């Protein structure tokens, strides 16, 4: 068996989108990833199927694995012929001990590559609105470890030179030593009034910032019980925060949101949450599958044969649109066979799905649910008309019943099924729910409500509604909200319109109200 290769990759400061393109490539191609707690776990979603995950992270009071053991682990895995990605927070060359890991690999003649990452020394202050250099304030910076004991700090840092050597001083891993660091800087020439900022979990949804001076910061940290990991910035650039703070002003900053919709749709919602400053936790609990029932295929075949007899082609979901066109391709049928039919949709999301196929809906209700569409169509329906409703197996009968009452010949065909999805993230999500790390759960259909509860029951949670108490449920429409309330959930967020954008706006408004004093 030949030797593998080890990629020593900087994962960036925490926000998973701050990893480099090369770093992401290394994650995607590896057989095993060795990672620590400063690397975002969301990066692991990019692993190929079957890739092994080994956690070697260190906590302030506990080391999961000693550095020497990590070094040897990388060697052992590579000698097994595996492609290994060692994922490290920030940049591996800045206090990342990459030299030790690479050194042992070289001793064993194992090929390796060092992939730089965005260091927290620069990125974390930037996310707090603090540029580490500024033309008028600081033309240089120093990056200093603050992790050692005071006697080691005195041996490794020449305080009399460092204090005044550069305009900005950035200390990594120094929260516990903030008093000693401040004392030494003042003693060696820094004014006691020099601004200081501590940024905890920078670039992440948990980001917290404390601003003070060398004279006051130790007491501020103690009063706030400010815990590591954090970056310490010392210098006049800290004053820029008042003008340049941007991340913490995003509407969903500080909000971790569980996204339960189908995987194919979850990513788009997750991207919007990230753009608004929140952190999405993708946990699809429903899966959309095309029906395999031969009877459904027969119904569609019959509908195709009678295509030019339909007056209405009505879609009640984007999934219905996509499934319908997949069926047409499978049956080798051109949509123009339905040339007589007018197009109606239940809401703008469904209308956009139809537009992707070059079609525009003639009817779009003001109320984005089946009742609204039924009311919208009422004046235009005539006895003897024929309507085709390609829809899901769990769709309500409100719309077809309303059409039949108007004398319409309704062909309601359940062309796709909504089933319970499964995931490898159950343990991680369950831990976040138990620890109170989830602020909001989004529900975009009644099935996302019922399936989330079922997934939790399958994990041994006898009363999942109790576990979810205190977590705001955000429901896209009144039907979904009614299902959630009936299940005992706290429906705190319900937008005026049943759209994703309106749902996100409502979540932002809710979180803003919660933050207001």
Enumerate the active-site residues: 36, 58, 173
Pairs from 25-33 (Cβ < 8 Å, separation ≥ 24)? 26/85, 26/113, 26/115, 27/85, 27/87, 29/83, 30/82, 30/83, 30/84, 30/85, 31/4, 31/82, 31/83, 31/84, 32/77, 32/82, 32/83, 32/84, 32/85, 33/84, 33/85, 33/86, 33/87
Picking from 59, 72, 19, the residue whose alpha carbon sits closest to that of residue 41 is 19
What does DSSP say about strands 52-55 and 32-35: parallel, antiparallel, or unpaired? parallel
State the Cα–Cα distance between residues 511 and 473, nearest whole angstrom: 12
Bridge partners, residue 168, by sequence: 141
Reduced 3-state DSSP string for 267-327:
HHHHHHHHHCCCEEEECCCEEEEECCCHHHHHHHHHHHHCHHHCCEEEECCHHHHHHHHHH
Per the CB < 8 A criterion, the answer to whether 195 and 239 are in contact is yes
Are 394 and 291 a contacting pair, CB within 8 Å? no
317, 392 contact by CB (below 8 A): yes
Residues 6 or more apart from 180 whose CB is under 8 A from it? 150, 153
Q: Quick one: CA torsion of 83, 88, 90, 95, rounded to 10 degrees?
A: -120
What is the rounded distance in angstroms from the CA atom of residue 424 to the CA atom of residue 427? 8
d(CA 400, CA 396): 9
179: helix, strand or coil:
helix
Residue from 208, 217, 172 nearest 190 by CA: 217
Q: Which two tokens stand for residue 65?
A: 């694995």
Identify which of 251, 203, 215 has the alpha carbon closest to the alpha carbon of residue 12. Answer: 203
User: Helix 67-79 vs helix 98-107: angle between axes, to the nearest 10 degrees?
Assistant: 40
Secondary structure string (H, E, C) spanning 432-479 = HHHHCCCCEEEECCHHHHHHHHHHHHHCCCCCHHHHCCCCEEEECCHH
| Separation CA 156–CA 146 (nearest Å) | 10
């Amino acid at each position: 068996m030949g030797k593998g290769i080890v990629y020593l990759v900087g994962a960036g400061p925490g926000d998973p989108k701050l990893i480099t393109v090369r770093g992401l490539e290394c994650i995607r191609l590896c057989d095993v990833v060795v990672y620590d707690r400063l690397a975002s776990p969301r990066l692991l979603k990019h692993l190929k199927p079957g890739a092994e995950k080994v956690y070697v992270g260190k906590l302030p009071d506990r080391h999961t694995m000693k550095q020497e053991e990590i070094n040897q682990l990388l060697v052992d895995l590579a000698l097994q012929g595996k492609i290994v990605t060692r994922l490290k927070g920030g940049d591996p060359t800045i206090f990342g001990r990459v030299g030790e890991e690479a050194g042992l690999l070289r001793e064993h003649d194992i090929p390796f590559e060092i992939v730089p990452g965005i260091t927290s020394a620069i990125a974390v202050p930037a996310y707090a609105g603090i540029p580490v250099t500024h033309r008028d304030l600081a033309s240089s910076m120093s990056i200093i470890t603050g992790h050692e004991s005071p006697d080691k700090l005195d041996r490794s840092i020449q305080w009399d030179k460092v204090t005044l050597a550069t305009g900005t001083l950035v200390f990594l891993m120094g929260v516990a030593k903030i008093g000693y660091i401040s004392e030494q800087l003042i003693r060696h020439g820094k004014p006691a009034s020099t601004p200081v900022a501590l940024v905890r979990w920078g670039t992440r949804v948990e980001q917290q910032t404390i601003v003070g001076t060398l004279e006051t910061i130790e007491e501020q940290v103690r009063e706030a019980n400010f815990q590591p990991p954090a970056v310490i910035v010392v210098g006049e650039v800290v004053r820029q925060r008042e003008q340049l703070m941007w991340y913490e002003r995003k509407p969903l900053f500080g909000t971790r949101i569980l996204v339960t919709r189908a995987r194919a749709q979850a990513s788009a919602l997750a991207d919007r949450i990230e753009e608004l400053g929140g952190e999405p936790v993708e946990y699809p609990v429903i899966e959309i599958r095309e029906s395999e029932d031969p009877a459904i295929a027969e119904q569609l075949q019959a509908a195709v044969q009678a295509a030019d007899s339909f007056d209405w082609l009505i879609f009640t979901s984007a999934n219905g649109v996509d499934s319908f066109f997949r069926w047409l391709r499978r049956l080798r049928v051109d949509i123009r066979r339905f040339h007589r039919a007018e197009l109606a949709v239940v809401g703008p999301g469904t209308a956009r799905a139809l537009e992707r196929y070059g079609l525009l809906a003639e009817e779009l209700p003001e109320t984005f649910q089946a009742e609204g569409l039924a009311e919208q169509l009422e004046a235009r329906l005539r006895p003897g008309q024929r309507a085709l409703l390609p829809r899901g197996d769990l769709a309500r009968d409100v719309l077809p019943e309303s059409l039949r009452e108007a004398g319409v010949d309704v062909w309601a065909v359940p062309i796709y099924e909504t089933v319970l999805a499964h995931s490898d993230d159950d343990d991680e999500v369950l831990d976040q729910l138990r620890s109170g790390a989830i602020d909001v759960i989004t529900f975009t259909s009644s099935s996302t409500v019922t399936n989330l509860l079922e997934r939790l029951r399958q994990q041994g949670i006898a009363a999942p509604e109790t576990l979810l108490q205190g977590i705001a449920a955000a429901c896209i429409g009144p039907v979904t909200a009614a299902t959630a309330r009936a299940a005992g959930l706290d429906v705190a967020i319900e937008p005026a319109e049943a759209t994703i954008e309106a749902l996100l706006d409502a979540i932002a408004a809710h979180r803003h109200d919660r933050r207001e004093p």
